[in-house]
Structure 1
Amino acid sequence: MGRPLPLQPRNRAVVVGLQPVALIDHVAQVDWSLLQDIPGERGGSLRVTEEEVLTILEKVKEWAIRNHMGEVIKKLAGGSVANTIRGLSGGLKVPCSIVGARGDDNLGRMFQENLEKAGVDLSGLRVTSGSTGQCVCLVDEEGNRTMRPCLSDASHLRAEELTRDDFKGAKWLVLNGYGFYWPNLTEKAVELAKEEGARVALDLASFEVVRRSRTRLLKLLESGKIDLCFANEDEARELMKSEGLESPEECLEFLGNFVDTAVVMLGPKGCMARRGREVARVSAIPGIKAIDTTGAGDLFACGFLYGIINGLSLEACCRVGCCTGAGVVLGLGGEIDNSAWDWVYSQLQYQQLPVRDNLSKSSVLLRHESPQVEVQVL
């Protein structure tokens, strides 16, 4: 792997995202008949080779031809952190950058162009000789996804390549548990970000990550260097197994012992958040038909962080997160498209949440009503 090179001069970002591996998602909505031909169990994530990725994509194209459909595969920059950063930068106009590595191939250039279009600063994205990671995301008619990632030979960022300049001037560092797959990378990023005075937001990523990296995860939480932590219900249960606890409420209290703000995302049931003694529980926006749940947690985190950055109350942060999380499930992939952003902006306005002047003032509702979100403060 060649020496990393910066892409462009740095513009200081409010939020820096750490994504060790650039990733291109191949997203397609298919039916069960196709999924029966894909190796592995339906749902979840199973790592595959590049050859297997090409085979699956060919099966998708053949299925589309048999069913007299056009191009069904949507390609876009993927990865949890990239999804969050793209939403903050492109949709909510928060200056962001991403730190990581991409290959010097067509997929790497596609990753770069997609994030550049959203206004993300890529001066921290290294370009190395090698391939860019990719993931096939097959979505069924109910919005459930089956993922087949290929990362084994992908270009990736190493801990020793990080510098303080990657985080200089940032107010927040956003990272997730997938960084634990590389030795000392997450810990080094947190250390450098803290030296620059940034706060740190950690998403637990998946229950598999929690299971595999629980010792490192708990050590990092116990260090007191994580300011904000996101977990979904599955991750929360996995984290609490050895504690003999299972409920989201118990996990929220547990995480609150180590971080300033803890959030447990409950999918269609909304979310719970804790900051000190304050606890808020917010219902999800009703009446939403999910086309694809890819990126729902990532875009929830995007909205919640927007609220934190702008000094909103805990309840309001949750409500913004529910709006952005709902916005992404209206289409395929972990990106909110322009029409769905109009819907998100209209929701923020309807709920009388602060909307910055540089955000859209459109009131397009995408055939969805604007319901009142139920809020319970415990």
Structure 2
Amino acid sequence: MPAAASLPDQLDVVGLGNAIVDVVADADEAQLASLGLVKGAMTLVDAERSEFLYSHMGQGVEQSGGSCANSMAALAALGADVGYVGRVKQDQLGAIFAHDIRATGVIFPNSPAADGPATARCLIFVTPDAQRTMQTYLGACVMLDESDVDEQLVASAKVTYLEGYLWDRDGAKAACLKAARIAEANGRKLALTLSDSFCVDRWRAEFRDLVRDRVDILFANESEITSLYETDSFDEAMAAVRREVDLAVLTRGPSGSVIVAGDEAHPIEMVRPAQVLDTTGAGDLYAAGFLYGYTHDFSLAAAGRLGSACAAAVIEQYGARVHRPLRELIQSAAG
């Protein structure tokens, strides 16, 4: 349930997503072997396995995470006014998530759940060769439902941003649809990120209906958009999406990105990072940069350039939170 607190009259963006605590710690090959972990893999685990692995992790860093939360934190770092909707449990990691995301400047009004599954966490074991072995317990985050969505918060936002992963649970899907109705009733924009191609495979028909009937801004990478329209051709997928949504932001990795709006198409070159250390969060940071530009009256091309610059900044380091000041990227992108 949303906490009883005064909310702002206007926000730039409010996001709905899976609230996950990232727990990152160094490990060696022997530890991975002793714990039975497959190096470099991402594995979903249950609560018992997660608690066991957490108890065997070394000293590390714990911070709020999840795709949408990463985007909202980056938006706040750029200087946007941002809110977030997600569910955590009233437990140690739930308190860490809430404190950390609020510390980034994001408004997070949701009170922790008193019962139900524990707070979601992604346990990340980092070996000396920089490989990340991830064990994810989804826990409380997938229990998000309509009661978590504060009408005033959503109504105040220029853009409501939905994480496609939420479609995997009926309650979370209902929360997204409630937010969509509130946004529409208040003349606000609705954005959707497709999250990953496997998510699109599971919910293709519903996503197609949502994109055609409700979504104003669609975010997708090349594999997601071609999966959505069941084609191997990016150009065919781009032609299809421009008929169904007002604005599509399509990323293509090293090939840059394309922003499609009606008859317009704005190709955006990839900003070359000084080094490529970890692509985790690149899409999340691109979305943040674009949404900052969009809500601050940049041209579509300038918003895309800021998205690309933010993505490059996160690729240059480990983890999904950029350590350098993101605001320094704004002027060059807008110019």
TM over 0.5, yes or no?
yes
Structure 1 letter corresponding to 2:92: N
Structure 1 residue aligned with 2:221: 232
Please state if 1:8 is matched with 2:10: no
Residues in 1 aligned to 2:239 and 2:31: alpha-carbon distance in whole angstroms: 42
Determine if the alignment matches structure 1 residue 205 to structure 2 residue 195.
yes
Amino acid at match of 2:168: Y
Shift of 1:120: 1.3
| Alignment partner, residue 334 of structure 2 | 353
Q: Deviations over 1:90-115 (max 9, x none)?
A: x1111111122221111111111111
Residue of 168, 185, 188 corresponding to 2:175 = 185
Q: Which residue matches 2:149?
A: 162
Of 112, 137, 158, the residue aligned with 1:127 is 112
Distance 2:208 2:333 in 1: 38
Distance across 2 between alignment mates of 1:163 and 1:92: 24
Q: 1:258: Cα distance to partner?
A: 1.6
Corresponding residue of 1:373: none
Q: Does the 8 Å CA contact 1:173/1:193 hold for their aligned counterparts?
A: yes
SS of equivalent to 1:53: helix
| CA apart distance, 1:252 | 2.3
* 1:7–1:29 CA distance, 2 compared to 1 (3 A): farther
Mind listing any 5+ residue stretches in structure 2 that lack a counterpart? none
The alpha-carbon distance between structure 1 residues 345 and 192, as it changes in their structure 2 partners (threshold 3 A), is closer
1:46 offset after TM fit, Å? 2.7
How many residue pairs were aligned? 329
Q: Is the 8 A contact 1:26 1:76 kept in 2?
A: yes
Is residue 105 of structure 1 aligned with residue 78 of structure 2? Answer: no
Mean Cα deviation higher: 130-139 or 296-305: 130-139
Deviation at 1:271, TM superposition (A): 1.3
1:317 and 1:154, CA in 2 relative to 1: closer, same or farther beyond 3 A? closer
User: Paired residue for 1:282, among 245, 260, 268?
Assistant: 268
> 1:167 Cα shift?
1.2
Q: Which structure's residues are more often helix, by fraction?
A: 2
Question: Which piece of structure 1 moves more, 100-109 or 47-56?
Answer: 47-56
Give RMSD over aligned pairs. 2.6
Counterpart residue type for residue 24 of structure 1:
V
**TM value normalised by structure 1:** 0.78
Contact 1:163/1:192, CA 8 A, preserved across alignment: no
TM, length-normalised to structure 2: 0.87
Amino acid corresponding to residue 66 of structure 2 in structure 1: G
Deviations 1:331-367 (A, max 9, x none): 3322112xx22xx444444x3625xxxxxxxxxxxxx
Q: CA deviation at 1:198?
A: 1.2
Paired residue secondary structure (1:15): strand
Identify unmatched segments of 5+ residues in structure 1. Answer: 62-70, 355-378
- Superposed displacement of residue 172, structure 1: 0.6
In structure 2, which of residues 20, 23, 30 is the aligned counterpart of residue 23 of structure 1? 20
For 1:239 and 1:38, how far apart are their aligned partners in 2? 38
Q: Aligned match of 2:289 in 300, 303, 309?
A: 303
Note the 1:326-341 alignment, pairs <5 A.
Answer: 326-337=312-323, 340-341=324-325
Go from structure 1 to structure 2 and tell me whether the alpha carbon gap of 1:52 and 1:237 turns closer, same or farther (over 3 Å shift): farther
Whether the aligned pair in 2 keeps the contact of 1:49 and 1:150 (CA below 8 Å) is yes
Alignment check: 8 A CA contact 2:21 2:93 kept: yes
Q: Report the Cα distance in structure 2 between the residues aligned to 1:172 and 1:252, rounded to whole angstroms.
A: 23
SS class of match (1:102): coil
The answer to whether the Cα contact below 8 Å between 2:273 and 2:313 also exists between their aligned partners in 1 is: no
State the partner residue of 1:82: 69
CA distance in 2 between partners of 1:34 and 1:283 (Å): 41
CA distance in 2, matches of 1:255, 1:36: 46
The structure 2 residue matched to 1:218, chosen from 208, 222, 231, is: 208
Task: Tell me the percent identity.
Answer: 28
